[in-house]
Amino acid sequence: MGTGVSRKPEKATEEEKKQRKRKRKTKQTITRAVTHIRLIEANAGKLDALDQLVTVFQALCQQYVTLFCTAYETPDKYAAPVFETELSERWHRVAIQQAAGIAKSWRTNRQAATSAYVEDLADYAEAKARATASGEPFGCGRKEPAWHEWKLLELRAPCIQANANVVVVEPSEDSTFDYWLTISTLDKGNPLRVPVRLASFHKQVITGHALNTSTTLHKRKGIWWLTLSFDEDVPLQTEPSAPPVGVDVGIANLLTTSTGKHYGSFHGKLRKRQKRDREKRHRKAKLRACLKKKGVEKLPSTSSATGQRLARHVRQSINQAVNLMLEDHPEAQIIYEDLSVSSMRFKARAMNAYLYASQLAHLPEQIAWATAKRGIAAHTVKAAYSSQECSRCHYPDRANRPDQKTFKCVVCVYEDHADHNTSVNLARRFGDKELAACRNKGEIKALLMKRYEDWKQKNRLAVVEPPVQLGLWARSETSTDVG
Ligand SMILES: [Zn+2]
């Protein structure tokens, strides 16, 4: 009887799930940020109350970030308050929520880095054992992976992610301003009222949309800035039958598609700029060390303006590459790797750490954002072994990659541009339920080995034939490859 009772609601939720899925296919909701709204200081010292507030807020937020990163398994934005503060209860909650968000992404990234390290270590041990068994020399150019513990986060730039409990945005009755911002302060019952004037392009963007109640306030170089946001429904333009196009994300080529195209690169100009910047920072660090030795108290800063300019330039190059790629594939579903900041860092380290991982991580983010904005369907798939797997026979092996840009299967001798081979694999992983169900890298490798065995069975006779015949398999094997 118990099962009969519980089954009914279960069915209903299944039906609900299906309905939600159907809905998701016709449109997607994106949150648009309206940035760079400068807070007007009507008279000198008007924003002093905000400065005082953020000092206390930031210190409290930092305490919770450290707590959530060290003591709590999972950062919880509803966690009970544990620190003393002069902030109101509502502000206290906002600080906890903001800290939980920051700590959560720190923990996720650290976790991903840990598993990447563990896998790399296993890879290394395996290769070493293989070399020892075969009596070959091991270690030329390959270092044992080392774990570097992550630094705890230190909040620097003053920033408040507020909600309507503490900061209220209201349209202004007066035509001189667009909105009034009411910020509750340390001085209870005495909120700060700040007028907000929007630029015409801000107004254009917002017209016809209801603003979200959450706001962000941050201070840079002595100036307070406000960020507003609103939700927008974007109808999905891509047909469900549109061909999947795999996109590999990398450094030599920012993007490579399974249709055989490359977009952008970190090499060339960007790399030169980065090298110059690094040398400059090294010189500065040397100077600092020297001055410190001599007992100089006020040391020159280590942050570099050129570094920030470079980062901006990299982001622009990335955006450009993504836009070009989407223009070239208007009728396609974009399939890309589900990469986290830390795995990008990993990818960067393997490739000589050309660029800061945070810049590299901008790539998948930009793909997600640019496709959502245009109503283009985009999906992430599991990336494990996608660069080592042979897109013809599935055999996964590091040895299939003799160098960074070459793919050459050690079994079926299939040869391809390495990034293209990866993008073909990614495209094919879309809708691959068996692969999606794998819980870790080991299971994925086992599945690929099984597929390779199947492939070998099917092509038993042909395997010994010279590559002349291989074209035939390529066609039947890569039925989902649109290239
Ligand atoms: Zn192969």
Whether the pLDDT of residue 7 is over 70: the answer is: no
Q: In Å, how far are 253, 273, 304 from 404, measured between CA atoms?
A: 11, 22, 31
Q: Which two tokens stand for residue 307?
A: 């570094």
Whether the pLDDT of residue 216 is over 90: the answer is: yes
Q: In Å, how far are 231, 335, 372 from 212, measured between CA atoms?
A: 7, 31, 19
How close is the Cα of 128 to the center of ligand 1, in Å? 23
Task: Yes or no: say if 286 and 447 are a contact pair by the CB < 8 Å rule.
Answer: no
Task: Yes or no: say if 51 and 217 are a contact pair by the CB < 8 Å rule.
Answer: no
Averaged over 86-105, what is the pLDDT?
94
Mean pLDDT of the chain: 82
Beta bridge partners of 161: 216
- 58-80: pLDDT as tens digits: 999 999 999 999 988 889 999 99
- Per-residue model confidence (pLDDT) at position 64: 96
How close is the Cα of 134 to the center of ligand 1, in Å? 23
How close is the Cα of 438 to the center of ligand 1, in Å? 22
For residues 414 and 468, which has the higher predicted lDDT (pLDDT)?
A: 414
Whether the pLDDT of residue 236 is over 70: the answer is: yes
Beta bridge partners of 255: 249, 263
Averaged over 290-305, what is the pLDDT?
68
Averaged over 186-191, what is the pLDDT?
88
Could you tell me the strand order of the sheet in which 262-263 lies? Answer: 262-263, 255-257, 244-249, 333-337, 378-381
How close is the Cα of 427 to the center of ligand 1, in Å? 17
Most confident of 23-32, 111-120, 209-218, 298-307: 209-218
- 238-294: pLDDT as tens digits: 988 999 999 998 877 889 999 999 998 877 776 677 677 777 777 877 777 777 777
Instruction: Read off the amino acid at residue 461.
Output: L
Averaged over 432-443, what is the pLDDT?
92
How close is the Cα of 345 to the center of ligand 1, in Å? 28
Task: Yes or no: say if 473 and 452 are a contact pair by the CB < 8 Å rule.
Answer: no
SS3 state at 206: helix
Q: In Å, how far are 31, 182, 213 from 169, measured between CA atoms?
A: 17, 7, 7
How close is the Cα of 422 to the center of ligand 1, in Å? 13
How close is the Cα of 393 to the center of ligand 1, in Å? 4
**Positive or negative, the Cα torsion across 237, 240, 241, 242?**
positive
Nearest residue to 48 via CA among 147, 187, 181, 160? 187
Of the listed ranges 30-44, 105-119, 239-253, the least confidently predicted one is: 105-119
For residues 114 and 215, which has the higher predicted lDDT (pLDDT)?
A: 215
Helix spans in 135-162 (H)? none
* pLDDT confidence bin for 213, thresholds 50/70/90: very high
Averaged over 320-334, what is the pLDDT?
95
CA 143-145-146 angle, to 5 degrees, is: 120
User: Which residues neighbour 363 within 8 Å (Cβ) at sequence distance 6 or greater?
Assistant: 249, 254, 255, 318, 322, 339, 344
SS3 state at 390: coil
Whether the pLDDT of residue 85 is over 90: the answer is: yes
How close is the Cα of 264 to the center of ligand 1, in Å? 28
How close is the Cα of 414 to the center of ligand 1, in Å? 5
How close is the Cα of 349 to the center of ligand 1, in Å? 27
* pLDDT confidence bin for 464, thresholds 50/70/90: low
Whether the pLDDT of residue 415 is over 80: the answer is: yes
Instruction: Read off the amino acid at residue 102.
Output: I
Beta bridge partners of 416: 407
How close is the Cα of 360 to the center of ligand 1, in Å? 29
Whether the pLDDT of residue 386 is over 60: the answer is: yes
